[in-house]
Amino acid sequence: RLGVVDPAGPALSLYTGVVLVDPANAEVGEALGLDVRPGGQVYDVVIVGAGPAGLAAAVYGASEGLSTALLEREAFGGQAGASSRIRNYLGFPDGVSGGELAQRAYEQAWVFGTHLVYGNAATSLAKDRDLLVVGLEDGSQARARAVVIATGVSYRRLGIPELEALAGAGVFYGAGTIEAQAVAGKPAFVVGGGNSAGQAALHLSKYAQQVTILIRSQSLAASMSDYLIREIDAAPNVDVR
């Protein structure tokens, strides 16, 4: 129907009638009207990474009148954006979903005039006289008087060939919010003992028959916030090994 024969990957049909085959993030963003490369001006500050730290830096910089560009290659909000519930973030006594927190911060940065650049990864950093130059994946550049690096972290892969073959088909990295309904009535395992693991386990427990957290240490105390540990202890279908 879309005129795509033997696609190499997913085919994406947009409301505009455009059909993209196995597109990169930047292609999707550009097709939806997002900026995927910085402007030609010199910015006061360029921020690399749009997790909570990068978004906060953009809000503070732009609100003080600095011309600010925020570069994000994958998802505004970073890993926090995929968290089902964040209970220990200032200003949200009842907690907030990572997606809502990321959306609020994104809008706040945009309202103050931050230039948001999506899907075009930063690949280099160099000095040109009094300026700093951030090189991007497509060859474009962002020139600024100051650069803030807020690139965060990536999920550590387990490196088990049998698991890697199932990535995206039963094995997921940090996808507790998205995949919760897919494990309804089934057992689920969460590997890791940090706050992201605890939040994912509690969210999955609302759908899964049983959730088992697998950790290397003797307890969660060394790596997880106390409020999460208490909630996990009280959850009837969450076990820790």
pLDDT digits (tens, 9 = 90+) for 76-119: 998 888 787 888 888 999 989 888 999 999 999 999 999 999 99
Q: pTM of the full predicted structure?
A: 0.81
Of 144 and 196, the structure prediction assigns the larger pLDDT to 144
pLDDT, tens digit (0-9, with 9 covering 90-100), for 117-134? 999 999 999 999 999 999
Residue 89 corresponds to which tokens in the numbers above?
A: 């973030």
Q: Tell me how many helices (H) and strands (E) the chain has.
A: 7, 11
pLDDT, tens digit (0-9, with 9 covering 90-100), for 161-209? 998 888 888 888 876 677 788 889 999 999 999 998 999 999 999 999 9
Instruction: Report pLDDT for 196.
Output: 86
Say how far apart CA 70 and CA 58 lie, in whole Å.
7
Averaged pLDDT, 63-84: 91
The per-residue pLDDT of the chain, averaged, comes to: 92
Instruction: Report pLDDT for 175.
Output: 66
Distance of CA 148 to the CA centre of its chain: 18
- φ/ψ of 199, rounded to 5, equals -65, -40
Instruction: Report pLDDT for 87.
Output: 84
Name the 3-class secondary structure at 135: strand
Averaged pLDDT, 37-54: 96
